[in-house]
Amino acid sequence: MYADSAQHYWEKSSAQTNAEAMARMTAVYNYQQTMNRNAKLEEANLRGDVRSILLWAALVVVASVGVALFLYTKKRSAEQRERAVKQLHAAEERYRRSEAYVEENEKKIASLETQLATSAQERESMEVEIEKYKALNRQQEALRELKRLADRSFSRNPVCQRFYQAARDKTVCLDKSDWTALQKELDTAYAGFTGQLYAALSTIKNQEIRLCCLLKIKMTNKDMAVLLGRTPSAITRARENLAHKMFGIADGSYLDDFVENA
């Protein structure tokens, strides 16, 4: 009888102990699951915060780039307008000094003379017009002749001759004083030559001024390449780049005409 009671008590205690152990394991499992869920939620929140930060950073970068692009475009447009004005003025000046200008005046003279023959009533005013255009042509022809004489005279200048010699003879070395002397002589002979260059492009570089000086004394691309230590093709590109800076058109002939008439 006592053995049966002990057995019964032992089985009951074991069952209670097992139930308590199972309850503890279940609680531990549930706690671990809760912690895992919380960890995943925190990780998701962190990823969301990172995405938000990256999105805001991207928006700030895009806005900054947009503002910079707007300011650059505005500045670029202003520079292009300024170049267009310079180009127009240069083109007008070249036209006034060109043969086409003289030919056009001749046509106007012929037209007015024809009208003069058929309309005696306007004779006096037409004669005045004709004389005005004839005077303009004489003035242009005189200016061209003076320029030809000045160019011919300057080509015999000792400073100019030294540059011609240096282009042909590699033993003749030019230094800074030679370039300064050439610039000074050009300023004297052609009414402030370098001042006209700065007026056309205030940011013109010293090497670009030297290029224009050589153009003014009618150096060839090959000779300029020798004196400036560059290749002929590099000289061509330099002329185009300078023309683009001055007039907005990468055409070396624009620079040549400008220097010729300066």
What is the model's pTM?
0.52
Residue 163's pLDDT band (boundaries 50, 70, 90)?
very high
Whole-angstrom distance, CA of residue 259 vs CA of residue 257: 6
Q: What is the mean pLDDT of the chain?
A: 78
Tell which residue, 100, 105, 106, 97, has the closest CA to residue 142: 97
Query: Which sequence spans correspond to the domains of the chain?
Result: 11-87, 97-155, 156-262
d(CA 2, CA 6): 6
Cβ atoms of 219 and 167 within 8 Å: the answer is: yes
Task: Give the model's pLDDT for residue 111.
Answer: 74
pLDDT value for 45: 67
Q: What pLDDT, on a 0 to 100 scale, did the predictor assign at position 92? A: 64
Give the pLDDT score at 30. Answer: 75
Residue with tokens 């255009």: 133
**Over the stretch 39-48, which tens digit does the pLDDT of each residue have?**
777 776 677 6
190 pLDDT band (50/70/90 cuts)? confident
What is residue 36's predicted lDDT score, i.e. its pLDDT? 76
Does the pLDDT at position 162 exceed 90? yes
Q: Indicate if the pLDDT at residue 213 is higher than 70.
A: yes
Average pLDDT for 192-210 = 93
Cα–Cα distance, 180 to 161 (Å, whole number): 15
pLDDT (tens digit per residue) in 91-114: 566 666 667 777 787 888 777 677
